[in-house]
């Protein structure tokens, strides 16, 4: 099949056509579609289409993974993106999209053919003209789409193509043939014909000046012999042709001289051509002025600037086309490369110059909404098309904002007038401003260390989870191969004997072969190594507050032990079991064989509860880095004889009220209380501690 299709693609001889199999146009017997051909020689058609072809590649095609909790992460190296960037050995993605846009605009249907490699995945993509493909259903009408008929031409017989090997981009649904899209230009065929005829008419007149420039005739109906006519004509050509034009003419007999032909103003077809330009551009969603047509330039004289028109062209003409293309890629191409659940294709327009002002306005609006606490940081980043992870599920609200019931007058108090909270009976003592200044320098040093430490742990966790996924797939592969006895026409999950194999049994066997205890030990080593690195950095920061930068061995062992215990809090077996159940359920529902199921298991186990390994590693690294800093601060200070700590609560955390935040921030707690607060902190929390050396000390 691959060789047959490759031969056809290399020998393509596509006969052009417009709107094949279309019904006759109403209120006319003339076939305007046939008259205008494929439309490729009509400037009124090609000019707006070429504008879209040039504009679309300015945006960047992306694929994001959307988690079960709505978090988004860009999958920059997805194989579908790599294939589209280099679809085959003969052209790249810009040429591929250019042909796709052309067919989309002309016919409402654009087609890519997939040529699969030895693994059964698409290895090449080929654009084929829209008139060479025709979707077909079953003869009895029981199935909507069973195959495509591909007519490559060049003496090659029509081919029957499986729908799985076709990416069919369609413009809506044509009610006359629901398997196809409706052509955007089908309603302006007459206008296209009108523009072509206007061009041909004027060009013919200018080319054929067989129409005489003047007429000489004898006065009062006199007769002239043929020889005299020829001699007079030859004399006129010689005496008044070329550079002698404009010389005076003197005749020897009474003669009438009259001008013959068309005045150039009589050949003015601008009004008819303006109508064609306007309607064709309107059908494609592109203002005529953007293309450069004279019809649209009038709008720029009545208030609409070219910048605004270009933005309108993007919003009405380019972005809707891009969204339709991305939606079809989600359905017809991305699933060919494995696990597609949660993957969503789209277009990043952040670098499109024409939309830069809109991006700036959107950014300003979103930032004000985030800063005002109206939306979460995650919602703001998602609105701007940025990656989102669990650490962004927070609100940023002014710390001194006061809650006032609706209908009552707000209290006339400013943040500067609020008195410092004083401890009441049973409340914690609070740090003085001098003590807070001393601790703040230490906390700032810790904050500067957070990002590189977090990234370092991510780099340790990513290969660990990748190895866990590979080992799970290796453990599952022989079990699934033994189970993969299903005939091709049997229901998914059913063996030849008609019995369904229990997922509980398969999962238990995979977990037993995987050896969770060994992987748990490896995860513990990752945690312990990271906690030791954090402890060393915290010890460096301790020099800012008068403690020695040396990390005592007992302190190091205590902190490393805390890291090992924290690793034990992750229920690795439960997370892996859940991922295995989900992979088996999704894979069997899709009718996958042993190898495809093993690949799916590797991806599910690697991603775990977060579906994507990157989000999983980033979330764990953020939480553990903050906890490791806090427990290192407490253990390092305790070794130096410090027993009390100042609490720094950077911003409101999840589930805490304003009163709780004020009561916690700046309070003085014991070492045991600090350790407990650190253990209870939310993964997105910002809690930090600084050693407290005594009353009144700066």
Instruction: Give the pLDDT score at 417.
Output: 39
Report the pLDDT value the prediction gives residue 179, as an integer from 0 to 100: 94
Q: Are 688 and 629 in contact (CB under 8 A)?
A: yes
Contact 625, 688 (CB under 8 A): no
The answer on pLDDT for 676 being more than 60 is yes
Domain that holds residue 385: 350-398
Whether residue 404 is predicted with pLDDT greater than 90 in this model: the reply is no
Alpha-carbon span 168 to 148, nearest angstrom: 10
- Which of 78-92, 199-213, 334-348 has the largest mean confidence? 78-92
142 CA to centre of own chain: 36
Looking at the DSSP bridge assignments, the partners of residue 66 are: 72
**Do residues 519 and 593 share a domain?**
yes
In a shared domain, residues 508 and 582 = yes
Mean pLDDT across 324-332 = 95
Query: Is the distance from CB of 74 to CB of 615 less than 8 angstroms?
Result: no
Confidence band (pLDDT; 50, 70, 90) for 442?
Answer: confident
258 in a domain, yes or no?
Answer: no
In a domain, 594, yes or no: yes
Domain boundary among 589, 611, 632: 632
Q: Which residues contact 395 (CB under 8 A, 6 or more apart)?
A: 373, 375, 376, 377, 652
DSSP string, 492-533: TTB-TTSPBPPHHHHHHHHHHHHTHHHHHHHHHHHHHHHHHH
Q: Does residue 171 contact residue 109 with C-beta atoms inside 8 Å?
A: yes
Q: Are residues 183 and 314 in the same domain?
A: yes
Which pLDDT belongs to residue 69?
Answer: 64
Residues 504, 358, single domain; the answer is no
Residues 54 and 195 in one domain: yes
Compare 494 and 279 and report the one with higher pLDDT: 279
Give me the mean pLDDT over the 619-642 stretch: 88
Residue 3 confidence (pLDDT) above 60: no
Rounded to an integer, the average pLDDT of 278-303 is: 75
Average pLDDT over residues 153-174: 93
Is the per-residue pLDDT at 8 higher than 70?
no
Closest CA to 94 of 130, 129, 128, 53: 53
Cα 252 to chain centroid distance, Å, stands at 83
The answer on pLDDT for 500 being more than 70 is no
Query: Out of 1-5, 480-484, 666-670, which region has the weakest mean confidence (pLDDT)?
Result: 1-5
Q: How far apart are CA 697 and CA 182, in angstroms?
A: 79
Please tell me whether residues 11 and 112 are part of one structural domain. Answer: yes
Total of domains in the chain: 3
Distance between CA atoms of 428 and 645, rounded to whole angstroms?
11
Tell me the pLDDT band of 421, cut-offs 50, 70 and 90: very low
Between the two ends of the chain, the Cα-to-Cα distance in Å is: 81
Any idea which of 6-10, 112-116, 357-361 has the lowest mean pLDDT? 6-10
Query: 376 vs 104, which has greater pLDDT?
Result: 104
The pLDDT, as a whole number, for residue 562 is 86
Angstrom distances, CA of residue 485 to CA of 154, 289, 472: 43, 63, 21
Q: Are residues 141 and 171 in the same domain?
A: yes
> Which phi-psi region, left, alpha or beta, contains residue 493 (left: φ > 0; alpha: ψ -120 to 50)?
left
More confident residue, 331 or 341: 331
Lowest mean pLDDT among 98-107, 141-150, 605-614, 621-630: 605-614
How many angstroms separate the CA atoms of 172 and 113, rounded? 20
Residue 643 vs residue 370, higher pLDDT: 643
Q: Is residue 172 part of a domain?
A: yes
Q: Average of pLDDT values for 528-541?
A: 87
Average pLDDT, the chain: 79
Name the residue with higher pLDDT: 251 or 190.
Answer: 190
Same structural domain, 345 and 357: no
| Tally of residues, the chain | 698
For residues 262 and 691, the model is more confident at 691
Say what angle helices 594-607 and 613-639 make with each other, to 10 degrees: 30
Asked whether residue 586 is assigned to any structural domain, the reply reads yes
Write down the pLDDT at residue 446: 85
Are residue 501 and residue 538 in the same domain, yes or no?
A: yes
pLDDT-derived band at 84, boundaries 50, 70, 90 = very high
- Neighbouring CB atoms inside 10 A of 278's CB total 20
The verdict on residue 66 lying in a domain is: yes
Residue 136 forms part of a structural domain:
yes
Query: Which residues lie below 8 Å from residue 508, measured CB to CB, with a gap of 6+?
Result: none
Residue 127 lies in a domain: yes
Q: Average of pLDDT values for 557-563?
A: 86
231 within some domain:
no
Sign of the CA dihedral running 216, 219, 223, 228: negative
- Does one domain contain both 374 and 283? no
Clarify whether residues 386 and 467 are in a common domain: no
The residues pairing with 238 across neighbouring beta strands, listed in sequence order, are none
Q: Is the domain of 312 the same as that of 364?
A: no
Domain-ending residue, one of 398, 425, 456: 398
Question: Phi then psi for 666, rounded to 5 degrees?
Answer: 90, 0
Instruction: Identify the weakest region by mean pLDDT among 12-26, 77-91, 143-157.
Output: 12-26
The residues facing 215 across adjacent strands are 258
pLDDT top residue among 661 and 521? 521
Provide the pLDDT confidence category of residue 366 given band limits of 50, 70 and 90: confident
Q: Which two tokens stand for residue 347?
A: 């277009």
Q: What is the pLDDT of residue 163?
A: 95
Task: Supply angle C-alpha 241, 245, 250, rounded to 5.
Answer: 90
pLDDT at 416 over 50: no
**In the block, which residue shows the tokens 């969603």?**
285
């Amino acid at each position: 099949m691959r060789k047959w299709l490759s031969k056809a693609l290399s020998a393509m001889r596509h006969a052009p056509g417009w709107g094949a199999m279309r019904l006759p146009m109403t209120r006319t017997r003339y076939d305007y579609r046939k008259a205008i051909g494929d439309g490729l020689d009509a400037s009124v058609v090609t000019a707006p289409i070429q504008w879209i072809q040039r504009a679309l590649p300015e945006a960047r095609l992306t694929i994001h993974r959307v988690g079960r909790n709505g978090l988004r992460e860009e999958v920059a190296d997805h194989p579908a993106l790599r294939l589209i960037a280099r679809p085959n050995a003969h052209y790249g993605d810009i040429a591929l999209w250019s042909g796709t846009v052309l067919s989309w605009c002309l016919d409402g249907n654009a087609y890519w053919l997939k040529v699969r490699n030895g693994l059964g995945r698409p290895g090449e993509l080929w654009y084929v003209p829209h008139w060479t493909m025709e979707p077909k259903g079953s003869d009895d009408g029981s199935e909507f789409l069973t195959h495509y008929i591909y007519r490559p031409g060049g003496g090659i017989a029509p081919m029957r193509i499986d729908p799985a090997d076709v990416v069919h981009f369609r413009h809506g649904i044509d009610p006359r043939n629901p398997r196809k899209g409706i052509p955007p230009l089908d309603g302006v065929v007459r206008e296209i014909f009108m523009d072509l005829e206007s061009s041909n008419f004027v060009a013919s007149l200018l080319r054929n000046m067989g129409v005489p420039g003047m007429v000489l005739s004898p006065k009062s109906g006199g007769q002239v012999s043929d020889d005299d006519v020829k001699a007079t004509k030859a004399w006129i050509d010689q005496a008044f042709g070329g550079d002698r034009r404009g010389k005076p003419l003197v005749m020897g007999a009474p003669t009438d001289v009259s001008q013959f032909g068309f005045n150039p103003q009589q050949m003015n077809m601008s009004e008819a051509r303006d109508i064609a330009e306007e309607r064709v551009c309107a059908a494609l969603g592109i203002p005529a002025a953007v293309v450069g047509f004279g019809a649209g330039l009038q709008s720029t004289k009545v208030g609409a600037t070219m910048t605004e028109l270009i933005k309108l062209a993007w919003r009405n003409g380019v972005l809707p086309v891009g969204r339709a293309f991305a939606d079809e890629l989600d359905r017809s191409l991305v699933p060919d490369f494995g696990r597609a659940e949660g993957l969503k294709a789209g277009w990043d327009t952040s670098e499109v110059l024409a939309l830069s002002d809109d991006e700036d306005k959107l950014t300003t609006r979103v930032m004000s909404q985030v800063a005002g606490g109206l939306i979460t940081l995650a919602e703001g980043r998602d609105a701007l098309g940025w990656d989102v992870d669990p650490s962004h599920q927070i609100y940023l609200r002014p710390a001194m904002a006061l809650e006032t019931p609706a209908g009552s007058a707000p209290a006339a108090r400013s943040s500067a007038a609020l008195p410092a909270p004083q401890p009441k009976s049973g409340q914690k003592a609070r740090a003085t401003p001098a003590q807070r200044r001393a601790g703040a320098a230490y906390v700032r040093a810790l904050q500067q260390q957070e990002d590189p430490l977090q990234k370092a742990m991510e780099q340790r966790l990513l290969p660990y989870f990748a190895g866990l996924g590979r080992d799970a797939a290796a453990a599952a592969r022989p079990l699934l191969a033994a189970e993969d006895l299903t005939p091709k026409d049997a229901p998914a999950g059913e063996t030849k004997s008609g019995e369904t194999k229990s997922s509980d049994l398969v999962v238990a066997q995979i977990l037993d072969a995987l050896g969770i205890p060994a992987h748990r030990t490896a995860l513990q080593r990752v945690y312990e190594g990271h906690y030791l690195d954090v402890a060393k950095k915290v010890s460096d920061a301790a020099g800012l507050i008068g403690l020695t930068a040396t990390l005592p061995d007992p302190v190091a062992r205590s902190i490393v032990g805390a890291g090992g215990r924290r690793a034990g809090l992750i229920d690795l077996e439960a997370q892996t079991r859940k991922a295995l159940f989900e992979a088996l359920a999704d894979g069997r529902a899709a009718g996958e064989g042993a190898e495809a199921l093993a690949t799916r298991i590797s991806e599910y186990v690697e991603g775990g509860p977060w579906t994507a390994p990157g989000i999983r590693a980033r979330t764990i690294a953020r939480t553990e880095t903050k906890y490791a800093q806090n427990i290192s601060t407490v253990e390092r200070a305790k070794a130096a004889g410090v027993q009390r700590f100042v609490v720094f609560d950077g911003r409101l955390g999840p589930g805490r009220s304003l009163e709780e935040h004020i009561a916690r921030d700046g309070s003085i707690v014991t070492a045991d209380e600090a350790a407990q607060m650190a253990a209870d902190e939310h993964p997105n929390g910002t809690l930090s501690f600084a050693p407290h050396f005594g009353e009144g000390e700066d």
